[in-house]
C-alpha cells in the first residue's frame, strides 16, 4: 500500500490497524474509558456515524462498578461526548435527547449527581427552542439534587431569557 497505494487506501489501512488495537484493548479492559474515548475519536475521524454510535453504545454499556463518584467521572464524559456527537456531527436532535435522558436515568442521584449533565441537557433543549423542556429538566434536577451550581445556572438562564 505505501509504495503503490493512494492516500485513501493508506489511511484505511492505518484506521483498520488502530481499530484492531482498540478492539483488543477494550476487550482486555472494558472499564478503561480513555481507550473508549480514543476509539470513538478514531471512528469520528473516519466519518461513519453508525460505527461511531456503535462504539459509544458499547462504551456506555460498561457502567462503573460501585457508587463512588470518582469512578463515574470519566464514564459520564463518554455520555457527554456521545450527546455532542449526535447533536453537532450527526445533527440528530431526537437521538441527542435520548442520550441525555438515558444518562440522567442511569446516574444514582441519591448518592451523587453531575450538575454538568443536567445543565448540558437543558442547554440543548434551549438550542432546540424548547424552553419548557429545559425548565422541566432543571426543575427535576433541583428536585432530586439541589446543588448550588444548578440553582445558579437556572437563575442565569431565566435572566438571559428575560
Cell 460501585 belongs to residue: 66
Could you give the CA distance from residue 35 to residue 18 in angstroms, rounded to a whole number? 11
**In this predicted structure, what is the pLDDT of residue 1?**
43
Burial per residue of 75-110, b for 16 or more beta-carbon CB atoms within 10 angstroms, e otherwise: bbbbbbbbbebbbeeeebeebbbebbeebbeebebe
**In this predicted structure, what is the pLDDT of residue 5?**
59
**Domains of the chain, residue spans:** 1-107, 113-162
Could you give the CA distance from residue 13 to residue 143 in angstroms, rounded to a whole number? 51
**In this predicted structure, what is the pLDDT of residue 3?**
53
Could you give the CA distance from residue 103 to residue 87 in angstroms, rounded to a whole number? 15
Cell 484506521 belongs to residue: 15
Residues lower than pLDDT 50 in the chain: 1-2
**In this predicted structure, what is the pLDDT of residue 109?**
82
Asked if CATH classification 1.25.40 holds for the domain at 1-107, the reply, yes or no, is yes
Closest CA to 101 of 79, 85, 84: 79
Could you give the CA distance from residue 89 to residue 134 in angstroms, rounded to a whole number? 22
**In this predicted structure, what is the pLDDT of residue 89?**
96
39-42 contacts at long range (C-beta below 8 A, 24 or more positions apart): 40/78, 40/81, 40/82, 40/85, 42/15, 42/18
**What is the pTM assigned to this prediction?**
0.90
Amino acid at each position: 500500500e505505501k509504495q503503490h497505494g493512494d492516500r485513501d487506501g493508506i489511511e484505511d489501512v492505518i484506521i483498520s490497524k488502530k481499530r484492531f488495537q482498540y478492539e483488543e484493548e477494550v476487550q482486555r479492559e472494558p472499564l478503561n474509558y480513555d481507550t473508549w474515548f480514543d476509539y470513538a475519536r478514531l471512528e469520528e475521524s473516519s466519518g461513519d456515524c453508525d460505527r461511531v454510535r456503535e462504539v459509544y453504545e458499547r462504551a456506555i454499556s460498561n457502567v462503573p462498578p460501585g457508587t463512588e463518584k470518582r469512578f463515574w467521572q470519566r464514564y459520564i464524559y463518554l455520555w457527554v461526548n456521545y450527546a455532542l456527537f449526535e447533536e453537532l456531527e450527526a445533527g440528530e436532535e431526537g437521538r441527542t435527547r435520548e442520550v441525555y435522558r438515558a444518562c440522567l436515568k442511569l446516574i444514582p442521584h441519591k448518592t451523587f449527581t453531575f450538575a454538568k449533565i443536567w445543565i448540558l441537557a437543558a442547554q440543548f433543549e434551549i438550542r432546540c427552542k424548547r424552553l419548557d423542556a429545559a425548565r422541566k429538566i432543571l426543575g427535576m434536577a433541583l428536585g432530586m439534587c439541589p446543588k448550588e451550581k444548578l440553582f445558579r445556572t437556572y437563575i442565569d438562564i431565566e435572566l438571559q431569557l428575560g
